[in-house]
Structure 1
Amino acid sequence: MLWHAYEAATSTAANVYRLSRETVSPFATLLHELRMRHDVRQNELAELIGYDQTYISALEIGSKGPPTAEFVDRLVAGLQLSSSDEMALRNAVAESERKLTLDSDAPEELYRMVAALRRRLPELHPAQARLIREIINLPDVVSREAPEPVRRLRRRRKMEAPM
């Protein structure tokens, strides 16, 4: 946090903008990138898909949560997005969800893990968040790799190991 404040105070306007882009949701970042790639201003996009410009702005700065499926459908149609851009957009919406709901039959340990994460979330560094994600994805990596065969150690006989 302190480093971000220092960097923001001592950098140019471009660096301040880059810093603020790092603090928003994946959806907010992608929406901005798509709009820039299609060379469309916020008010033009709002008119194109039938939403207010202030809503587009709120989505881009991250003050609004991920949008509805209707918004995404209109955005896909309005910008005539490719199937890969549409998939990336829908993934970004899912990754930007702010709420987490546990199943009622979730194990107690899962509740404890979520509670601990909730307590520490405000102070986590992006590197810590990345490590947690890597750990969570570890079973996927492990299941794809062939396990190494177990090497059994051969017992030494008394003659082989002089003491």
Structure 2
Amino acid sequence: MTPFGAKMRALRRERGISQKDMARALGVSAAYLSALEHGHRGAPNWAFVQKVIGYFNIIWDEAEELENLVWSSDPRVVIDTAGLPPEATRLANLLSRNIRQMDEATVRALLALVEAKIKP
């Protein structure tokens, strides 16, 4: 599941809306919504995100949060380490090979560590 898919699912469930009803309203298939929610589709485009925001009638911070989640929701990530130190390439490859074996606590700890290093 991607961050965008998890948020969209939470919004839908909070409001008691089925995938089928939401899909019909947005002009997509229920299978597409299911794939988005489960992380089997790439990040949606800007126009689709705007439809979702309008559908749920969300504004300001919550709309911005949903838009920002798209940028961290591509389930097929490619990391270009060309020109970076060898350790960066090693890290990218270790994550690529081992992330499926990591438990949720480990993933959260690594995410917190990386986010702490990139925030101003």
TM range (shorter): 0.7 to 0.9
Which amino acid is the alignment partner of residue 86 of structure 1? A
1:134 is matched with 112
User: What pairs with 1:47-66 in structure 2 (closer than 5 Å)?
Assistant: 47-66=24-43
Q: Residues 30 and 138 of structure 1: is their aligned pair in 2 closer, same or farther, counting only changes over 3 Å?
A: closer
Q: Residues 116 and 77 of structure 1: is their aligned pair in 2 closer, same or farther, counting only changes over 3 Å?
A: same
Q: CA deviation at 1:103?
A: 5.3
What count of residue pairs does the alignment treat as equivalent?
119
**Matches of 1:140 and 1:71, distance apart in 2:** 29
Q: Deviations over 1:93-133 (max 9, x none)?
A: 22222213325333332111111221221211111112212
**Matches of 1:26 and 1:138, distance apart in 2:** 18
TM-score, with structure 1 as normaliser: 0.62
User: What pairs with 1:105-124 in structure 2 (closer than 5 Å)?
Assistant: 105-124=83-102
TM-score, with structure 2 as normaliser: 0.81
Q: Residues 134 and 57 of structure 1: is their aligned pair in 2 closer, same or farther, counting only changes over 3 Å?
A: closer
* CA root-mean-square deviation: 2.2
Percent of counterpart pairs with the same letter? 24
Q: CA deviation at 1:36?
A: 2.0
Asked which structure has the greater RCO (Cα within 8 Å, sep 6+), the reply is 2
**Matches of 1:51 and 1:140, distance apart in 2:** 36
Q: Which runs of 5+ in 2 are unaligned?
A: none
Return the index of the structure with the highest Cα Rg: 1
2:9 is matched with 32
